[in-house]
Amino acid sequence: MDKQYFLELLHKYLNDEATDEEQQFLVKYYDLFSAEPDVISLLSDEQKEKLKKDIHSSIWENIDEHINADKKIVPLKAWFLRIAAAAVIIGICGIGFLFLRNKPVIKPTALNAVHKQKPNLLVILPDGSRVIISYGSKLTYASSFDGLAKREVYLTGEAFFDIKHDNLKPFVVHTGKVETTVLGTAFDVKALPGDKTITVTVTRGKVKVSDHNRLLGIIIPNQQITFNKQKSISTQSSIDAKTYTIWTAQDNLYFEDLSFGEAAKVLEERFKVKILFTDQLIQSKHFTSTFDKSASLDQALKSICEFNDASYSYDKERTTITISSKSQTN
């Protein structure tokens, strides 16, 4: 989680301005504070004990409320947030590493992909799953899924998910009241803040859609569930999934700190080719760029290869592309 975003989120929470997804995330990862000695050392023994009891009380209140009625999540008590905010502000220099990606942490921190620019954003999750986020949307997820029973993310807006299969660790997308659960598949979730509905569309695999503990339906490719947020009712229908996911190819695609290997997967899907690497160093190179929606395969390859000091050869009969470092071809 970015330091500035973390402080902004605490401020919003204290002023009752946090969204349901932001409240859920804070409750979900409350133990980030209790796990860090740099934070806890700022509190007295009495405050530590009171903090621990109050957090658990808050979680049980949330569970009871979800079971008994469809209401907003009960926020953590204000005094806890003030202590947490003060602890973070006072000890920010000592614990700044908590909020930097690729640094060792005791518990998974939160990462946010907030996309405000026109091109769609491609994000690679910690498990290798890929997400295309529509501009104006936000995805919140843990920096690592290791040690967690589920791979959980929180979405505001619209995103297309291509999830790696994992029988032991389901993937769950939270969008307000609606939870979309999969093991490994491709699907689109549309949950725009101003819309009255949340829509889940499947392009590959099988998806379970729930309203907390109530099953709304299980859908397969070319099926869709639409949930009315105001009436808490859903409808299931058969559709052409391509028409609902065409937005992923209608705009330029922004690659941010993406490896050449990950970018190659996007090219493989878009141009129906197979891309092979002869040099693992080239495959693992990271770069940031914008992929033009109107670019041909040759234009895209030339641009990316030039940036990464690589070259490519194309076997048109086998529709196979081989990428090597320029040092290998010289």
Condensed to tens digits (0 to 9), the pLDDT of residues 164-215 reads: 999 999 999 999 989 999 988 999 999 998 899 999 999 999 999 999 879 9
What is the C-alpha separation between 208 and 265, in angstroms, rounded? 26
How far lies 304's CA from each of 264, 266, 273, in Å? 10, 12, 16
> Is it the case that residue 1 has pLDDT exceeding 60?
no
Amino acid code (one letter) for 238: S
CA atoms within 13 A on the CB side of 213: 8
The tokens 């990862």 sit on which residue?
29
Across the chain, the runs of DSSP E, i.e. the strands, are: 110-115, 120-124, 130-133, 137-142, 151-162, 171-175, 178-182, 186-191, 197-204, 207-211, 214-219, 223-228, 233-238, 253-259, 274-277, 286-291, 310-315, 320-325
Does the domain made of 110-247 have the CATH classification 3.40.50.10490?
A: no
Amino acid code (one letter) for 92: I
Structure tokens, 267: 């090219």
How far lies 246's CA from each of 105, 160, 232, 243, in Å? 38, 10, 28, 5
What is the C-alpha separation between 31 and 54, in angstroms, rounded? 12
Domain edges within the chain: 3-99, 110-247, 252-329
Question: pLDDT at position 316, please?
Answer: 82
pLDDT bucket at 290, cuts 50 / 70 / 90: confident
Amino acid code (one letter) for 94: G
- Angle at alpha carbon of residue 172, lines to 168 and 174, rounded to 5°: 160
The tokens 């903090």 sit on which residue?
51
The residues with which 289 forms a beta bridge, in sequence order, are: 255
What is the C-alpha separation between 154 and 24, in angstroms, rounded? 9
Condensed to tens digits (0 to 9), the pLDDT of residues 136-173 reads: 899 999 999 999 999 999 999 999 999 999 999 999 99
Q: What is the CA radius of gyration of the chain?
A: 22
pLDDT bucket at 238, cuts 50 / 70 / 90: very high
> Is it the case that residue 101 has pLDDT exceeding 60?
no
Question: pLDDT at position 16, please?
Answer: 66
Question: pLDDT at position 70, please?
Answer: 40
> Is it the case that residue 277 has pLDDT exceeding 90?
yes
pLDDT bucket at 105, cuts 50 / 70 / 90: very low
Condensed to tens digits (0 to 9), the pLDDT of residues 254-274 reads: 888 889 999 998 889 888 899
Q: List b or e across 201-226, with b for residues whose CB sees 16 or more CB atoms inside 10 angstroms.
A: bbbebbbbbbbeeeebbebebebbbb
Mean pLDDT rounded to a whole number for the chain: 76
* CATH topology assigned to domain 252-329: Phage tail protein beta-alpha-beta fold (3.55.50)
